[in-house]
Structure 1
Amino acid sequence: MAEIKLGQKRIGNLYPAYIIAEIGINHQGDAEIAKKLIDEAAKAGADAVKFQKRKISRILTKEGLDKPYENPNSFGKTYGEHKKALELSEADYAELMAYANEQNVDFCASGWDEDSVDFLDALGVPFFKMASADLTNTPLLIHTAKKGKPMLLSTGMADFAMVQQAVNTVLKYNQQIAVLQCTSTYPSKFEEIHLNVLKTFQREFPKAIIGYSGHELGIAISEAAVVLGAKIIERHFTLDRTMKGGDHAASLEPGGFAKLVRDIRHIEAAMGGFEKNIQESEKAVFAKLGKSIVSAVRIPAGTVITRDMLTTKGPGTGISPTRMDDVVGKCTIMDIPEDLVIPKDAIVW
């Protein structure tokens, strides 16, 4: 049975789902907005807040960075200027990690390049999250795996063979791994989410924790993922879905995120065990609403009981109707009035 530790919490089948508020770049490059997001995530019940750390020159070629990027969600005339505007400084990351710790939530970030991974490792993040964009970035996977900290792999934009190769690559260096089903569209169409892949991952990756990173609208799909066995849930988080930026529309606001956490905890409590039993709280209800064998007529002492002498009624405190055939043919040892729950000691068994 797979089990890992993220921060101070153990993750596995015997433990509650670990819920991550993916702040990502929804802080708009402003550390004060980032702090507000951490505050709200903590209030909503998140176990962790996650950011994105990248060195702009490492993620795209100069041609890609210089590409015009003018749209309503742009923070710069080129894609490079846009990404640079959304970056936090290393000092910001250190301050935000300390701030998150004060709020009793784990702080983590996806490192998009080796330098960023090294920085995050030195900062002391408890685990690494690998973005879907880097699932096939084998050098980065190996570099991160060698740090020896738990790794969460998002699997958007990938087929199973790509996921399997990434998992096998990481397992050569690091056994602490989680695999998250993900669809990298914002927001994701419901028919493209494929929650059943969670079962495939559970079967094919028994050494890994299985989770779900969602970009869909609403919270129902993420809750369903928990029912299917997801032990890590990640959702993008924002103060306001109408804010400028490409990720806000597919994010949850504080109220929605709090409902997600509440519902997941209710679902976990409701899952219970695998045996069907009468609950202690149901016994009084059964006594009131359940059925017993009742006399349909007066039955004198010494009478051999026939079926037409009996009926079934509440309360459910007497002989169960499941024993009707056992009662028929028995002899009474006392008078039984009409419309009485037949006492067990009124019959010679």
Structure 2
Amino acid sequence: MAKTPEIEIAGRKIGAAHEPYVICELSGNHNGSLDRALVMVDAAADTGCDAIKIQTYTADTITMDVDRPEFKIHGGLWDGRSLYELYEEAHTPFEWHAAIFERARKRGVTIFSSPFDETAVDLLADLGAPAYKIASFEAVDLPLIRYAASKGKPLIISTGMANLAEIQTARDTALAAGAPGVVMLHCVSSYPATFADANVRTVTDMAQRFDCPIGLSDHTPGTAASVAAVAMGASVIEKHFTLARADGGPDAAFSLEPNEFKALCDDTKAAWAALGQAHYDVLGSERGSLLFRRSLYVTADVKAGQPLTRANVRSIRPGNGLPPAHFEEVLGRTAKRDLARGEPLAWDMLA
């Protein structure tokens, strides 16, 4: 049997043979406050997530402040805003990164980020990031993938909007450029995404096509899609996080609050544990229940020499008598001795 592909990030193995790796994405929900960002790190750590992720860009490294129609967002959560305006609000300043990384490490949680240009990669390398996340919109930016991969750390690549050829190219580029491993995340680049568009069966299909761990970057409401993805074989779950949706923030509408994120961690790991393997033998935990299966019992007194009939033998619980499969076989047989109501039927009781 072929070995299940896996990678390792900060000593944690990631793959189908291991419980899902849950990434808590802080994104821009710090609302421009470093203090809030640090509180978010603490709250994220308390959920039991495996990793915390931020995003490393400035408005100027990800777009331009240009008054042209194509730089405006049309429809959806950010309708009418310019790209520059949105990213200026949502970015996590480079000078905050050291404090955020330090707080996560103090809490014992792995932290890394999504870089959006080479200066971001360099900053994260200086901070000792153990992995890099490539966002869906950057999955076609092969120079960025090559540069991040050249740092010799694993890459996690989201695949929203990417076709099969682009996904394959992104993966191959990362490995060829020095990444020791790659995780590909199925993703729907809609904010929020609907359950009708989630298509989590794609996780299983990707696992068959690409020799690497597969996961889900989930923008749907709640936890259902993530749990379903784990049932489909997802090894990684990424979900956005906020202290409170009511506080607002660029991604708040499709982010989970702390108690919800804890439920995500618990439920996805429980779902993985429940998958187990195909099994048809009696489990050790079931053995005590065998007593309460149905079996054949004497249900009315029978004198020696009298026949067994439907009136004096039935299939009932518990399971100390003959198996019910022998019911037709014992009907018409005579009692070897007097049989009392409530006795489990056995072959040595029959003539």
- Change in 2 beyond 3 A, CA 1:64/1:234: farther
C-alpha separation in 2, matches of 1:266 and 1:25? 29
Of 10, 15, 21, the residue aligned with 2:13 is 10
- 2:195 corresponds to which residue? 190
Deviation at 1:32, TM superposition (A): 0.9
| 2:30 matched residue in structure 1 | 27
The question of 1:103 aligning with 2:116 is answered: no
Counterpart in 2 of 1:94? 98
Structure 2 unaligned blocks of 5 or more? none
Alignment-mate amino acid for residue 318 of structure 1: G
- Taking a change above 3 Å as real, the CA distance of residues 274 and 45 of structure 1, as seen in their structure-2 partners, is same
**Pair 1:257 & 2:261 matched:** yes
Q: Deviations over 1:43-97 (max 9, x none)?
A: 111111110001443322453799689x9x99xx964355335434434211111
Identify unmatched segments of 5+ residues in structure 1.
Answer: none
1:53 and 2:49 aligned: no
Seen in structure 2, the aligned counterparts of structure 1 residues 43 and 64 have a Cα distance that, compared at 3 Å, is: farther
| Alignment match of 2:132 (pick from 128, 131, 134) | 128
Change (3 A) 1:68 1:153: closer
Are residue 141 (structure 1) and residue 148 (structure 2) matched? no
Instruction: Give, in whole Å, the separation in 2 of the partners of 1:211 and 1:243.
Output: 29
The superposition leaves residues 188-216 of structure 1 with CA deviations (integer Å, 9 ceiling, x where unpaired) of 122111111111101101x2101000111
Instruction: Pick the aligned partner of 1:319 from 322, 325, 332.
Output: 322
Question: What CA distance in whole angstroms lies between the structure 2 residues aligned with 1:82 and 1:303?
Answer: 90
Give the structure-2-normalised TM-score. Answer: 0.87
SS at match of 1:242: helix
Distance 1:339 1:86 in 2: 74
- Choose which of 297, 314, 328 in structure 2 pairs with 1:294: 297
**TM superposition shift of 1:133:** 0.8
Q: Is the 8 A contact 1:30 1:88 kept in 2?
A: no
Report the CA distance shift for 1:120/1:26 in structure 2 as closer, same or farther (over 3 A): same
Contact 1:292/1:312 (8 A) holds in 2: yes
In 1, the alpha carbon distance for the partners of 2:122 and 2:102 equals 18
263-272 vs 247-256, which deviates more?
263-272
Q: Does 1:228 align with 2:242?
A: no
Contact between 2:294 and 2:324, CA under 8 Å: does it hold in 1?
Answer: yes
- Between stretches 252-261 and 300-309, larger displacement belongs to 300-309
1:169 to 169, 173, 176: 173
| CA separation of 1:186 and 1:116: change in aligned 2, threshold 3 A | same
Residue 329 of structure 1 deviates from its aligned partner by 7.4
- Secondary structure, aligned partner of 2:54: strand
CA distances 1:87-140 after superposition (whole Å, capped 9, x unpaired): 344342111111101112111100011111121122111111100010100111
CA-atom RMSD, angstroms?
A: 2.8
Amino acid at match of 1:5: E
TM-superposition CA deviations, 1:259-302 (whole Å, max 9, x none): 111222322232223103334444444424x2111235544556
Instruction: Within 5 Å, give how 1:34-49 maps onto structure 2.
Output: 34-49=37-52
CA distance in 2, matches of 1:121, 1:208: 23
Contact 2:296 2:345 in 1 (8 A): yes
Q: Does 1:268 align with 2:260?
A: no
Counterpart contact for 1:127–1:151, Cα < 8 Å: yes
Distance between the aligned counterparts of 1:274 and 1:64, measured in 2? 59
> Does the CA-based 8 Å contact 1:294-1:342 persist in structure 2?
yes
